[in-house]
Structure 1
Amino acid sequence: MNANTPNMKPGHRKSVLAKTTKYPVVIAGPCSAESEEQMLKTAFGLKKLQGVSIFRAGIWKPRTRLGSFQGVGTIGLEWLKTVKQETGLLTTCEVANASHVAEALKHGVDVLMIGAHTTVNAFLVQEIADSLRGVDVPVLVKNPVHLDLPLWAGAIERFYHSGIRDLGAIHRGFSTLDNAPYRNHPKWDQAIELKDMLPDVPMFCDPSHIAGKRSLLRPVSQRAVDLGYDGLMIEAHYNPAKALSDPQHQLMPQELGILLQVLNIDGIDADGTRKRVQLEELRKEIEHLDDELLDLLARRSKMSSKIGKLKKANVGDAPQIVQWDQVLEGLLSQASDAGIDKEFVQTVFQEVRKHYAQTYLYKA
């Protein structure tokens, strides 16, 4: 980050977002509020589970296409209020503008979440942050849809500057060119980097939106626990088959209970896992660079072949042949400026020259 990054120390009161035992804080509930019956049946099932302390439900849904289920709106906040009264669970929902904030606070929502589609818009984030000046409420900020670490950190900073001290981050994965096998690629190294930038901000993982399917929920959740995350947010529905949104990754409360029971939370080596994650990402990056290098060599081969054909055709006004010694001298100078070993560069380009000698691009 830059010199303006605040030292985000939490407030004096005990935070509902901070892990107080070795067991992570668990936020759970349906992707969308659909009915009071659905909310209560799900909530009573979740209340029995160890670690579940906050009930979540989508009230306003940021759908891409018209005609998709957009959420039930304010009536869902009444149902959230009933859930809190009947079960004692704290409640949370996403807010996407100042009017959502006002309605959520009026209905006693305990934790506000900033969704991925809102985090990408600095104007909306600032509007929400301004509406919370003087309000003491926890705020969880999801990473933006696309990989943009400064945007994620900047959103959290805006809330800190507005006076919010009980802040957390939600890692829900990123939309990349190749997300397979995930719905949203986790890019664990990005969450680690944010944690290094803002060490006092609790980190939550949203395995549901990273995985996109039930079969990946356990390994994603375990990786988050291994990395020392403070909490998990997992979508649950008393009858996922009837869910109006994202039925493919929601769990029944009893299924979530089994998942939480099988998580290994003992003997976690978060620092060791972080290093392994960073090594994994570096290896993947090298693989991508190897692919790019191969592509460049293939393109160069095609160019050399074209030059060779033109030379054989005795093109009268062909440009003067490049002097290899001059080219190599320039390459070695660039290598020195880039901090690359000159001997390595010389060896590589001598091999390239040999391979494409038939093109007569260089004089011997």
Structure 2
Amino acid sequence: MKLNLNIQPLNTWLNVNNEPLIISGPCSAETEEQLLTTAHLLAATGKVSVLRAGIWKPRTRPGEFEGIGSIGLEWLKRAKAETGLPTAVEVANAKHVEEALAAGVDILWIGARSTVNPFTVQEIADALRGHDVPVLIKNPVNPDLQLWIGAIERINGAGITKIGAIHRGFSSFEKSSFRNEPMWELAIQLKTLCPELPIINDPSHICGNRELIPYISQKALDLDMQGLMIESHVDPSVAWTDAKQQVTPATLSELVDRLTVREPESTNEAFVDKLADLRKNIDKIDDILLQKLAERMAIVEKIGEFKRDNQVTILQVNRWDAIIKKGHAFAKALKLDLNFTEKFLELMHGESIRKQTEIMNAGKAEKGIAAEQHTEVKA
């Protein structure tokens, strides 16, 4: 089901200097000189459309640098006056909203630590009511699509129609090369539910280190995201926060030059016809796959009944190990990605366990009902 949101197209409320849209600036506004120097260098690239800077910083532990505070808004105002770049800051409560709007900030964004809390988002939404300002909403820290959607709906419900989402990755307990796991599927689901919603990727927070930013940036554009928010500092080596994930304005310019911007559609008839033929083939294969899955699940049900009748547990670890081992070997021979293959097998195995559990429980329920009925008759 599509989301029922009232959202204005990005190009009606933001002037993009060049494609792709680039929002850039320091993780934190540290000093007036640092912010102004960075802003001028970014503006000189001709590739940045919006200057961002953290003024208020939600930190994990007390005692860490929590942002320069309200004085930074004056620095942003001066940076805008000198460079012509519109400005953007993160807000986390009603007071932040009021101060940012009073200082003439052009775009507000809601951070991941705020999106996770509906009370916080509602407070911000209430403070925004009656104002006409663009708001970007980062995904929550945890991989919860409904929280992300809920935050967007709350802001839209306050009358804000200039809305965008920021995909900055999600926390995970698994070891990873990334600071935050991209979990692209969640951003894709959001885009599917609300095609008109602009989604901007934040490779800085996904990567946690500058070396991976080009790769994530290109992938985001290839997934039809509308822009990138990349942190930039005049000298990242001395940055007060997130030094490893910030790039210099010069590096940012080079990075953007190397990106390939592709169109979501093509008007080339030969391309369209060829693509349609290829997709027909995929559709046929998908139909076969689904038919085979249905056949597999029918056998799973028989196995569940057989195990139930013979008092055998659903899970046999040795069998699962054999499936994985065989799957890896087969995938390797077919040149399939091992990670994808394992996830696919895990999904099938999980569904098999669910079906067999249902059969086991259904059997017990039937016996329980019969026993109760027998007792009632005897009584």
Q: Output the TM-score relative to the length of structure 1.
A: 0.73
Whether 1:74 aligns to 2:70 is yes
Cα displacement (A) at 1:242: 0.9
Q: Provide the C-alpha distance between the structure 2 equivalents of 1:139 and 1:38, rounded to a whole number of angstroms.
A: 26
Match of residue 153 from structure 2: 157
Match of residue 342 from structure 2: 287
Whether 1:265 aligns to 2:320 is no
Check whether the contact 2:17–2:48 (CA below 8 A) recurs between aligned residues: no
Residues 143-222 of structure 1 mapped to structure 2, 5 A cutoff: 143-178=139-174, 180-222=176-218
Residue by residue over 1:199-228, the C-alpha shift from the partner in whole angstroms, topping out at 9 and shown as x without a partner, is 111110000000111110000000011111
Match of residue 130 from structure 1: 126
Percent of counterpart pairs with the same letter?
A: 49
Q: Provide the C-alpha distance between the structure 2 equivalents of 1:332 and 1:63, rounded to a whole number of angstroms.
A: 44
Letter in 2 for 1:16: L
Residue by residue over 1:171-201, the C-alpha shift from the partner in whole angstroms, topping out at 9 and shown as x without a partner, is 0000012251110000111101001111111
* Structure 1 residue corresponding to 2:359, chosen from 334, 339, 343: 334
Higher mean C-alpha displacement, 191-200 vs 135-144:
191-200
Structure 2 runs not aligned, ≥5 long:
267-274, 280-336, 363-379
Q: Give the total of aligned pairs.
A: 293
Structure 1 runs not aligned, ≥5 long:
276-281, 296-329, 338-364
Q: Provide the C-alpha distance between the structure 2 equivalents of 1:91 and 1:12, rounded to a whole number of angstroms.
A: 16
Match of residue 300 from structure 1: none
Relative distance call for 1:269 and 1:245 in structure 2 (3 A) is: farther
Q: Provide the C-alpha distance between the structure 2 equivalents of 1:59 and 1:238, rounded to a whole number of angstroms.
A: 17
Cα displacement (A) at 1:333: 8.8
Match of residue 5 from structure 2: 7
Match of residue 34 from structure 2: 38
Cα displacement (A) at 1:253: 0.3
Q: Provide the C-alpha distance between the structure 1 equivalents of 2:10 and 2:38, rounded to a whole number of angstroms.
A: 33
Q: Provide the C-alpha distance between the structure 2 equivalents of 1:136 and 1:36, rounded to a whole number of angstroms.
A: 28
Residue by residue over 1:320-361, the C-alpha shift from the partner in whole angstroms, topping out at 9 and shown as x without a partner, is xxxxxxxxxx959939x9xxxxxxxxxxxxxxxxxxxxxxxx
> SS at the partner of 2:49?
strand
Residues 49-60 of structure 1 mapped to structure 2, 5 A cutoff: 49-60=45-56
Q: Provide the C-alpha distance between the structure 2 equivalents of 1:333 and 1:246, rounded to a whole number of angstroms.
A: 49
Relative distance call for 1:20 and 1:58 in structure 2 (3 A) is: closer
> SS at the partner of 1:104?
helix
Match of residue 94 from structure 2: 98
Whether 1:88 aligns to 2:84 is yes
More helix by share: 2
Cα displacement (A) at 1:53: 1.0
Letter in 1 for 2:8: P
Relative distance call for 1:20 and 1:123 in structure 2 (3 A) is: same
Relative distance call for 1:292 and 1:192 in structure 2 (3 A) is: closer
Match of residue 236 from structure 1: 232
Cα displacement (A) at 1:50: 3.5
Q: Provide the C-alpha distance between the structure 1 equivalents of 2:200 and 2:76, rounded to a whole number of angstroms.
A: 21
Cα displacement (A) at 1:116: 0.1
